[in-house]
Each structure stands twice: as C-alpha cells, then as structure tokens.
Amino acid sequence: MAELSAAENELLLLKSKLTQQLNFIYKDVELSISCEDLSDQLVELMRLDESCTAPIAYKNHWSQKDIIMITYGDSVMKADEKPLVTLQHFMDNYLADSVNSVHILPFFPYSSDDGFSVIDYSSVNESLGGWEEIQAIAKDRRLMSDLVINHCSSRSAWFDNFIKGEGIGSDFFYTASPDDDLSNVVRPRTSDLLRETETGKGTQHVWCTFSHDQVDFDFRNPEVLKSFVSIIRLYLDMGVKIFRFDAVAFLWKKLNSSSINLPETHEVVRLLRTLLEHAQHDAVIITETNIPNTQNLTYFGNANEAHAIYNFSLPPLLINTLVTGNCLYLKRWLMSMPPSQNGTFYFNFIASHDGIGLRPAEGLLNDYELTTLVETMQQFGGKVSWRTTETGAPKAYEINIALYDALQGTTKGKDKLGLQRFLCAHSIMFGLEGVPGVYIHSLLGTQNDYEKVANTQHNRSINRHRWDYEELQDNLDDETNHHSIVLNSLKDLLDIRIKQPAFHPNATQFTLHLGLQMFGFWRQSLDRKQSIFCISNITSHEMELAIHDLNLIMTDNWYELISGEVIDVQADMMMLAPYQTVWISNILCE
C-alpha cells in the first residue's frame, strides 16, 4: 500500500477533527447524514481537498503596525462615483500608511439596520459598487468583513422560500410556539421574540432576537452551516482576511434556556476556525459579543476559538473615567484582564457604528456610576436605547452619541477641554494590549447628527453621519479646521505607535498604581528590549507625576515619545497638563 503524502495525512486529521466537532454540535439533533459525511462536504465546500496544510498553532498574524478603521461603505460620498471608490480615495489621500486595515460594515444588499439585515450574502450592494471595488480595497489594506451569522432579512430569497414552504431556505429558520416557556431567553431588544408568519405549512412563529425584519437561523439544520461555509469561502476568494462574526452569541437556540453563549455556539465558532485556518493560515475571526465581560472572554476558548474578541468593556469604562476624573473602575478592570495568549488578541475600540454598550459594564460599574454616565451623556445630546430585563423592567442597554460629543465635558458639564479629553481617550487606547479599531467618525471628529436621527427615527443614526467628500476635503485641507486638527492629531499618535515594538498586541502589560487621577500602565516588547510607560492625567487640572514612582533604570536614556523630549530621570516631578498623555520609553524608535 502506497504511503500517504503529508497533505493526505493532514486531510485525514482535519476530517477527524471536524467529525468530532460536528458530533458535539449535533449531539442532541437527529441528522439525516452522518457527521463523517458532513465533514467531507465541509472540506469540499472550502476546497481543502485540493491542498491541505495545517496552520501553525499560537502564531500571531498581527503586529503593532495593525490599525483597523471601522466605516460604512458610504460614509464618504461623491456625486457620480461609486462610494467604495470614494472610500478608497479617502484612505489613500488622507490615511496613507497610518491605517493599514479597514472594516467595511455590511456591504451587501439589505432591508434594515443599516446593513445588518442581509438580503443576499453573495453580492455587493449595487449602491456601493461591486466585488471589483471590494477586491481593489483588499489589495491595498487588510479587509475585515461582517459575517452576519445569527439572522438574515425577512426579504431574503431564503425567507421567501420559508414562507412558500419549499426550496432552499424553507427549513433554515428557528421557530417556536407562543406556549413555550421563553422566560429565560436573554436578548438585547424590547420587541416580541416571536414573529407570527403565514407559510405554506401553516402559521409559524419565527424567532427574532433583534427585530421582526431579522429572522434567526436554525443551525440545528446542517444545511445552514454548509451555506455559511460556502459564504466564508466566497469572502476569502474576494480578499477578506478578517471575519467579524456578528451577534454570534445568540447563534444556537434551545428551549428552556437563555439561548445565549450555549456550548454548541462555542463549538460552531471553533469548527469555523478549523476550516478557515486550513484554508488561509493568516485569516482571523473576531467575535462580536456585546455581553458582560466575563462571558465575552470565554470566546477565546483555549486559544482555539476566536482569534480576537471585542473589548466591549473599554468604551463605557474609559468614557466614565474621563468624565468623572477617576480611574478606579478602569484600573480595576484592566488589572483583572488576562493577557491574551499567543494566537489571540483583544480588539480595542472606544467608538463604532453602534453606541456605547452598557451590558459589558455590568458588574464593573455600579448602578450609581451607570446612571450618572447615562445622564451625563444625555446632557451632551446623547440618546439611550433600552432593553427589557428578566423581570420585565426597562434598563439602559446602549448610549447613542458621537464620541467627540461624549467627551465635551465632565459630570459637572461642558467645558473647553473636549479636544484634549478626546485625544487622551485615544492615546490610552492606542497604548493598550491589543489591536486598535478606530471609527471613521472618530478620525474625523464628527459630531452628533441630529438630522439623520430625525429622518430615520433610529437613535444609532446619531453617530452614522454621511460625509460629502468634497466638503470633507475642504475641511481636511484647512489645517485650522476642527476636523483636520483631529485627523492629524490622531495620525500623529498612530504614526508613533506603529514604530514601537512594545505596542505589539501581545506585548507584556502591567497596570501602574499612580492614584485615581493618573491612569497608567507599562508595556514591554516581546524581546524585552523596549519598555514604555503610558501615563495619562485624566483630570481637568494640571497634575504632578512623581518620576521616582516609575522606577526608571538610571543607566538608560528615557524619552517621551509624543513630544520627543528627553526625560530627566534625576528630576523629582513632571507636570502633566489636563488630559495629557506621556509615552515614556527607553528606546526612541523614529
């Protein structure tokens, strides 16, 4: 008998692993196909039978040079030009090498929720452009795309077939009975969970975690899994390198359970990682799980699940720190966060297309702090989105506000230090362990869009402004303009960050103890050659930093990277202006 090649051996190992994972996922489901046969089909859909090589375990496919801009495909618009082309022009002309990756929010045909109610996963929204424009962007920057995996649009062909009772999709959706006990189900919306729908098979009640236009898939049907594996293969072919698994925590449903974070959900993520890594070794999965911090951390698995998780607790904690002038809660949280293992990283952000989620702050901020934060944001023009708790009571779920406006003052009211506070927030985020994600409207210092809220009647529209590109160019080309100042200031910080080995996403991090009005942490490069002390005055008044508290090695030269100044290690004190950040390093990387 001929000896198997290395690729053939790896393929057998892969199929065996997939079969084990499938057996776990479908252990309580009666299938019409064996898990061995289903494994074969998944391998074929991903085209892994053509050539199969194992990924290197625990390898970091990222560095301090990775910065991801978050944007809609039409955040910048120009007459008679495809928005994706305009977006690429904006990135080429104004971001250059400061930002090497881009997360284009759902760019598919959709019916609601600004793209997250997908009608067709296989095509690009014609109003934005086509796959040609997506591939052009992917050639220049690492492209991150959403995989809206929990639900699709009620106007999709799949749901049309569900209504007809025949064809592909007719059995893709999760249904339940109004008589079922659904009291334990956890969800982020106040609308009814079940949507009554007349179908060719009679009246059905479709599970809708988010809205009645977003109908939830039934992953107990392996045909749903196969469809998403085909979609992943298509996105890889189109140049996508980073996959954002949207709302994945709700993927597996089970009656008489919370239907969130179920073991089957975690195993589906692990299975998709197995397939994806074998197809393209440097592909990355980021799970979008806007849930309490301890639950969110479980999506790392044992460095075998998501490559990255959203650091959802960072936005509310950091904003709370800067509007109260007290870093107690942020400091406690940072000290409790486990370092990411090699092969994983934290995805840090403080603003996005969504609002400031409050569930990830539950258990970290007390009720008084949460209430004060909500009331402060409302004073600055913010809106509040609500959810229903297990007792049926309404509770603030999300604050909707542009980040620049969120930081225009403190709990005492507005002041003139908004820009300094805004830059302080970013200098803290840019220094933290992980990869930074920067929302386009943060880069541009965009403020609350009340007109869009009035037009859409949706709170989240407040932070989803659409820029006319020519107007934006006029603003950015004027060095005295607010938007130009913000963009250039953030780019200056990013340009420093990407040169520092100590800012590698997996470099060592320790929290410093400098009182409650100074927030600080220490980073050390993987080769242990560079140290950076990241320290911020998080108050509206000048503060003294005691140099001796840092225990700087006297025989080294020390530099403040942001200003370029040499640090006098013999000095007793260093004065920090309101909201000033210093990055003190023993190596000057220019």
| Whether the predicted pLDDT of 409 surpasses 90 | yes
The pLDDT assigned to 25 comes to 98
Count of the separate structural domains present in the chain: 1
Q: Residue 287: inside a domain, yes or no?
A: no
DSSP 357: E
Q: What is the per-residue pLDDT across 30-84, written as a single tens digit (0 to 9) for each?
A: 999 999 999 999 999 999 987 788 899 999 999 999 999 999 999 999 999 999 9
The answer to whether residue 551 is domain-embedded is yes
Reading the block at residue 290, the tokens are 């806007």
Q: What is the predicted pLDDT for the residue at 459?
A: 94
| pLDDT at 240 exceeding the cut of 60 | yes
Average pLDDT, integer, range 134-157? 98
The residue among 382, 486, 372 whose CA lies nearest residue 425 is: 486
CA distance 425 to 260: 32
Per-residue pLDDT, 571: 82
Token pair in block for residue 83: 């928005």
Is 518 domain-assigned? yes
| pLDDT (0 to 100) of residue 26 | 98
pLDDT range class, residue 27, cuts 50, 70, 90:
very high
Band (2; pLDDT cuts 50, 70, 90): low
User: Please, are residues 157 and 254 in contact by the beta-carbon 8 Å criterion?
Assistant: no
Q: Is residue 235 part of a domain?
A: no
Query: In the annotation, is 246 catalytic?
Result: yes
Domain that holds residue 523: 508-585
Identify which of 441, 562, 422 has the alpha carbon closest to the alpha carbon of residue 494.
Answer: 562
pLDDT band for 93, please (50, 70, 90 cuts): very high
Both ends of the chain: CA-CA distance in Å? Answer: 60
Confirm whether 357 is domain-assigned. Answer: no
Query: Do residues 346 and 309 lie in contact, with contact meaning Cβ atoms separated by under 8 Å?
Result: yes
Decide if pLDDT at 1 tops 70: no
| Residue pLDDT, tens place only, 196-223 | 999 999 999 999 999 999 999 999 999 9
Among the listed residues 66, 213, 246, 449, the single catalytic one is 246
Per the prediction, the chain carries an average pLDDT of 95
Residue 458 has pLDDT above 60, yes or no: yes
* pLDDT band with cut points at 50, 70 and 90 for residue 396: confident
Residue 183 in contact with residue 224, Cβ under 8 Å?
no
561 within domain boundaries: yes
The residue with greater pLDDT, 360 or 442, is 442
Can you give the pLDDT at residue 397? 87
Residue 69 placed within a domain: no
pLDDT of 290 above 80: yes
pLDDT at residue 551, rounded to an integer: 84
Residue 558 lies in a domain: yes
pLDDT exceeds 80 at position 491: yes
Q: For residues 61 and 59, give the distance between their C-alpha atoms in angstroms, rounded to a whole number.
A: 6
Give the CATH number of the domain where residue 563 resides: 2.60.40.1180
